[in-house]
Amino acid sequence: MDFAQRLGKLDPRWIWAIVMVIVFASVLAPVSVPVPMDPQTQGAINYINGLPKGSNLFLAPEYSPGSYPELDPQVRVISILAFQHGLHIVIGDSGFALGPQLAEAQVEAAAAFVTGKACTNPGTPQTVCGDLKYGVNWVNVGYKQGNGPTENNMERNFQTATQGVDFYGQPLSGYPLSKDIQGVNSKYFSGLWVEDTGSPGCQEWLANAAIPGNLPLGCGVIIMEGPTHATFYAAGQYKALLVGARGAGAIEEKLKAPGLGLAGQETAMFASILIVIAVIAGNYVYFKTKGKKAA
């Protein structure tokens, strides 16, 4: 068995072991990696800053804990930008049960960063972070099961689709921010931001709320979904597109609000190098062993 054949039959756990060494090293001995701002990421900042001050932004965190390293930082930076711009945030999703819970923690972290004060009673309807308060500056309607049809119902009949209660089971009519909202449309909101890991995600919210409700849609995606959603951004259907932890990291750097997005960039750099090496090795094995297999 020659080298190429041995390489082709390598136990995949060795690859994972190498990956773990790289990730462990980059977490335990981090080096600062600059994350330059690209036009697409700047477009996400411009999208939030372009919404009318004091208006409402609907945030749909369509993701589960598996995607938190990439999308938690995105929710945090989008919320920081929104609060700095004086926007109110209404959180709610239709496909991922734990999305609103993850987003709530990030919105609270963003509120604490913007006001410079730690939140009191975090994770409750009485959360107050400096002069930002749950129910006044943000509300979480939680997970409302039903995918596309629920999104469409939220666009037209917000109070019915949400069953009139928030993430904590409290009536939406009891909060100044949500008591008068009747739809996720341009009458009550100025923008719609969706965090996407698959389906339902940006495409579904585009079809069910952004187009019928005449709302400009901004989309944050995991890096794996980046190439797919680039077509919607290029076609002008999304007004902004933020990709992966890198997009969040660039905004964290610009806002001087370092977090998980920026922390993961060193790993991403070494990962990219390893991917190139693996692609070369894989092709080497393929071309060296192709003829032998056929024989």
Partner 1 sequence: MSMNPQDWVAGLVTLALWTWLIDRESVIFEFVQYLYIGLSFAYSIALNYADYLRPVLGKIGAGQLEYIIPIVLGLMIYARYTKRLDFLGRWSLSFFVGYGAGYVLAFTPAVFLGQLSGSFFHLWGKGGSLNNWILFLLLLASIVYFFFTVNRNNGFIKHTSALGRYAIMVFLGATFGATILYRYSLLFGRVYFVFHNWLHFV
Which residues of this chain interact with partner 1, rule CB under 8 A? 13, 16-17, 19-20, 23-24, 26-28, 30, 66-70, 97, 143-145, 148-149, 152, 163, 165, 203, 206-208, 211-212, 222-228, 231-232, 234-237, 244-245, 260, 263-264, 267-268, 271-272, 275
Q: Are 178 and 164 in contact (CB under 8 A)?
A: no
Q: Are 135 and 126 in contact (CB under 8 A)?
A: no
Q: Which residue, 108 or 133, has its beta carbon nearer to partner 1?
A: 108
Q: Which residue, 67 or 137, has its beta carbon nearer to partner 1?
A: 67
Beta carbon of residue 231, minimum distance to partner 1 (angstroms, whole number) = 7
C-alpha 165/C-alpha 167 separation (Å) is 7
C-alpha 275/C-alpha 251 separation (Å) is 25
Residue 264 token pair: 């993961």
Strands 240-243 and 56-62: unpaired
C-alpha 96/C-alpha 73 separation (Å) is 18
Beta carbon of residue 152, minimum distance to partner 1 (angstroms, whole number) = 7
Q: Which residue, 88 or 144, has its beta carbon nearer to partner 1?
A: 144
Beta carbon of residue 158, minimum distance to partner 1 (angstroms, whole number) = 16
Residue type, 283: N
Q: Which residue, 118 or 275, has its beta carbon nearer to partner 1?
A: 275
Beta carbon of residue 285, minimum distance to partner 1 (angstroms, whole number) = 17
Beta carbon of residue 25, minimum distance to partner 1 (angstroms, whole number) = 10
Q: Which residue, 61 or 244, has its beta carbon nearer to partner 1?
A: 244
Cβ neighbours for 279, distance < 8 A, ≥ 6 positions apart? none
Long-range contacts formed by 228-231: CB under 8 A, 24+ apart? 229/196, 229/202
Q: From residue 238, how far is each of 10, 80, 218, 235 by CA, in Å?
A: 43, 21, 6, 8
Q: Which residue, 137 or 208, has its beta carbon nearer to partner 1?
A: 208
Beta carbon of residue 140, minimum distance to partner 1 (angstroms, whole number) = 14
